[in-house]
Structure 1
Amino acid sequence: MAEPRVAIAYDCFFPINSGGGERVYRRIAELFTEQGSEVDYVTRGQWDGAAPQATFSVIPVWRGAIYDGTGTRTPTSAVKFAVALFRHFRAQRGAYDLVIVSALPVLNVFAVQLALAGSKAFVVTDWLEVWGWRQWRAYSGALMGTVASMLQFLAIRLGDLHTVNSDFTGSRIRGYRQRATPVTLGLVDLVGTARDATTKRGDEPYLIFIGRHIADKRLIDLLPALREARTQISNLRLVIVGSGPESAAVAARVTDLGLDDAVSLVGRVSDDDLHSLLAGAHALVNPSRREGFGLVVAEAAAVATPSVVVAGSDNAAAELVHNGINGVVATSVQAPELAAAIVTVVNAGEPLRESTQAWFVTERTASGLSRSIDRILDAYRSAKTR
């Protein structure tokens, strides 16, 4: 059987957008290309002139902003991109054998499924996250949250195959669609082996936070925990990488807590600087309440830096961290609990960094995205031979 013609539909594109989802979809496109497929990455235009260079075709179908001032996706942008997807796939009904569509936002699924209804295309819906009704209401308000929750319920019942980034998201898919057999994507190998990874660290311990400064990341909640941890490790510092709608509030909170000398807000940095900062840290701290995967945990482990994450029903990053092996899962984001986890990791020293590095090497071999692509292709070929 010939290699399928593939399309990937998502409104962000790496490296213009630097999140984990963008990296996953780009790598999927590259892997299909390496296996001999023609691939179109159908996305949002965010550049002037020629499309970004890639080993596959990058097709912009709509141009516009997708976030409001607080970093929340806007319903208007979701509708406009979905309409653009519908038009593209309707016009290209016979062009694709296999379509992978991101369910973020969920309207993408309806647009692609409607456009391809009656065609022979095999549709894979990829779920970075699956939220409960209360979480949708908290994120989008009572009305829009209820509508989004209902749309999610319906969208899960569409498509020929589901892919997910974590086992708990797969469990939620099966809760909505009992006969679903979602493929959990192996993502650790998105992180390359570090060129100069070492378990040695400097005498001045510091933590590192990497991510957008938005409410769900709970960066502000990390600051009281840092102050409490410093009562036991007096010279402990924090380096904050990234920016976002909460950056000003974070800076103000740093001053309020008297942490100006202990916290560095460095904004966005180059890849080389980020590598150096991460490789020198005594711990990555990611107090986020929700992560679809938590790729930054793997990036930290690649340079022997253990992680501190916070347990939560929507935090897949907690699945990656094993207490005493590659970090610690804090029981809550409250300062005493988060500080205790931080102190445990920092005081564990080099033995924990050695086991973190060993964990990464094992996981990178065992949990590869290329194997997940093979499973998707197996499902596609099985469907074609029925």
Structure 2
Amino acid sequence: MGGSEPHRRPEDARGRRVALVTSSYAPHVGGVEEHVRQVARELTGLGCAVEVWSVDRGTGPSVHEIDGVTVRYLPTPLPSATPGGIARFAAAFPAAWRHWARARAEFRPSLVHVHCFGPNGAYAFGLHRLYRLPLMVTSHGETVADDHAVFERSAVLRTALRRAVGAASEVTAPSDFVLDDLRARFGLVGGEVVPNGVDLSLSGDAGRSPFEGRYLLAVGRLGRTKGFDLLIDAMAGLRFDDDQADAGDAGGAGIRLVIVGDGPERQRLSALVDERGLQDRVELAGRLAPAAVADAMAGAMAVVVPSRTEAFGIVALEAWRSGAALVMTDRGGAPGFVTDGVDGLLVDPLEIAALRTAIRRVVDDRELRERMIEAGRSRVREFTWRRVAEDYVARYERMLGADHAPDRRATETE
């Protein structure tokens, strides 16, 4: 990161100046952070001027340059339903709003594009209303796959999201699963799928894998929604006998599970490993750089995604890219792009016995693994970040070329 002083504004690029307003960004890591980072890079390559406006998560308002893109960290106080909470909001809001108004005045965006609606979305909606800035909303599953259930707890955010999807010129999500929730609970009319992408340059090399031997791999933020506890429970009852392993393997008994990532559930998962007596069979490896993750996937028997809910699952694309067999949750958006038995095995991870069966099937059947690996390598070429950015640009052109934004207004009752 650079210093906290604003640097010069980029020159106009075809007149399209896009503010990507995200709930989180670097140095934090995760799906939305990766999506916005890659989209910002691709949009710049397509000739747009881009800034990222992210939520200040305790460091104070600041402006930095990351990967050649201006990133503004902006305060987003919201009122709570207590007298003290309302008073604190009243005191903090004027200064916070000045930072947002200054960002608009300095960058002069043609439109604001919200990613992962939260307090960031509420403030972007305010800019839309006050300055008549065209608004686009992209949900990343925050209403269906949030460990903190923020939309169940916050009437302010529920109302803001309902109003924003009603006012937005474009609403997208990576899967119909996410759009269906917006339609059912937040009054969305319409909405379209724009799938996630993957960086195809990180293909992975099994010879460089940071892990030795035969292993299953799981990757992600260690939160409850990701279901790593379910996978540990599955491992506790999973045994591979030599006569079950295919002829080219050294025997299934030595297969272990490696979980890559960090997050709030790490201590609980470690305790669960000890409780199940799996210290020699399950490794919590911590966070790895993207290239090391790709290498680890390339060397794995299979990549397992056991999420309780998964809006899309970029990990699935990463597994395909690295030539790994995929065992994927069917709870969420994956059935929209993963074909069961062709490029992955879909399974309900809440059914522990079914999860064990799927894992055992992949390990035991080399022919199945190789078929799924080949199919995945073929499919992943459809999911590039450039295609995602081009889809967004087409929507920007449609938004900015229209005399009036389409009316998606919904009832605003709670």
Q: With structure 2 as the length reference, what TM-score do the two structures score?
A: 0.76
Letter in 2 for 1:295: I
Report the equivalent of 1:273: 292
1:259 matched to 2:274: no
Describe the shift of the 1:364–1:39 C-alpha distance in structure 2 as closer, same or farther (beyond 3 A).
same
- CA-CA distance at 1:21 after TM superposition: 0.8
Secondary structure, in 3 states, of the residue corresponding to 1:345? helix
Match of 1:211 among 220, 227, 232: 220
Letter in 2 for 1:338: L
Secondary structure, in 3 states, of the residue corresponding to 1:245? coil
Most deviating of 294-303 and 151-160 = 151-160
RMSD across aligned positions (CA): 3.7
Letter in 1 for 2:343: N
Q: Give the unaligned 5+ runs of structure 1.
A: 65-74
Report the equivalent of 2:50: 39
Report the equivalent of 2:36: 25
Match of 2:269 among 250, 256, 267: 250
Q: Deviations over 1:333-380 (max 9, x none)?
A: 232111011111222325433433433433423663133123323322
1:373 matched to 2:386: no
- CA-CA distance at 1:311 after TM superposition: 2.3
Describe the shift of the 1:383–1:172 C-alpha distance in structure 2 as closer, same or farther (beyond 3 A).
farther
Contact between 1:302 and 1:357, CA under 8 Å: does it hold in 2? no
1:155 matched to 2:164: yes
1:343 matched to 2:352: no
Letter in 2 for 1:101: V
Match of 1:57 among 70, 78, 81: 70
Q: Deviations over 1:188-232 (max 9, x none)?
A: 3x2314445679x99943111111222111211211211222255
1:104 matched to 2:117: yes
Contact between 1:240 and 1:266, CA under 8 Å: does it hold in 2? yes
1:87 matched to 2:98: yes
Q: Deviations over 1:252-275 (max 9, x none)?
A: 211221211111121112334322
Residues 1-386 of structure 1: pairs in structure 2 closer than 5 A: 2-14=14-26, 16-44=27-55, 51-62=64-75, 86-91=97-102, 93=104, 95-105=108-118, 107-129=119-141, 131=143, 139-140=149-150, 144=153, 148-175=157-184, 176-177=186-187, 179-180=189-190, 182-188=191-197, 190-195=198-203, 204-230=213-239, 233-312=252-331, 315-365=332-382, 368-384=387-403
Q: With structure 1 as the length reference, what TM-score do the two structures score?
A: 0.81
Contact between 1:298 and 1:360, CA under 8 Å: does it hold in 2? no
Secondary structure, in 3 states, of the residue corresponding to 1:321? coil
Secondary structure, in 3 states, of the residue corresponding to 2:382? helix
Most deviating of 215-224 and 229-238 = 229-238
- CA-CA distance at 1:9 after TM superposition: 1.0
Contact between 2:17 and 2:111, CA under 8 Å: does it hold in 1? yes
Q: Deviations over 1:293-333 (max 9, x none)?
A: 21011001111112222222xx2234333221222111342
Describe the shift of the 1:272–1:125 C-alpha distance in structure 2 as closer, same or farther (beyond 3 A).
closer
- CA-CA distance at 1:116 after TM superposition: 3.1
Return the alpha-carbon distance in structure 2 between the equivalents of residues 317 and 81 of structure 1: 41
Letter in 2 for 1:160: S
Return the alpha-carbon distance in structure 1 between the equivalents of residues 203 and 196 of structure 2: 20
- CA-CA distance at 1:277 after TM superposition: 1.5
- CA-CA distance at 1:91 after TM superposition: 3.6
Contact between 2:214 and 2:255, CA under 8 Å: does it hold in 1? yes
Secondary structure, in 3 states, of the residue corresponding to 1:22? helix
Identity %: 22
Letter in 1 for 2:45: E
Return the alpha-carbon distance in structure 2 between the equivalents of residues 301 and 43 of structure 1: 30
Letter in 2 for 1:87: R
Report the equivalent of 2:412: none
Return the alpha-carbon distance in structure 1 between the equivalents of residues 391 and 96 of structure 2: 25
Return the alpha-carbon distance in structure 1 between the equivalents of residues 219 and 29 of structure 2: 12
Describe the shift of the 1:282–1:359 C-alpha distance in structure 2 as closer, same or farther (beyond 3 A).
same
Secondary structure, in 3 states, of the residue corresponding to 2:339? coil
Describe the shift of the 1:342–1:146 C-alpha distance in structure 2 as closer, same or farther (beyond 3 A).
farther
Letter in 2 for 1:296: V
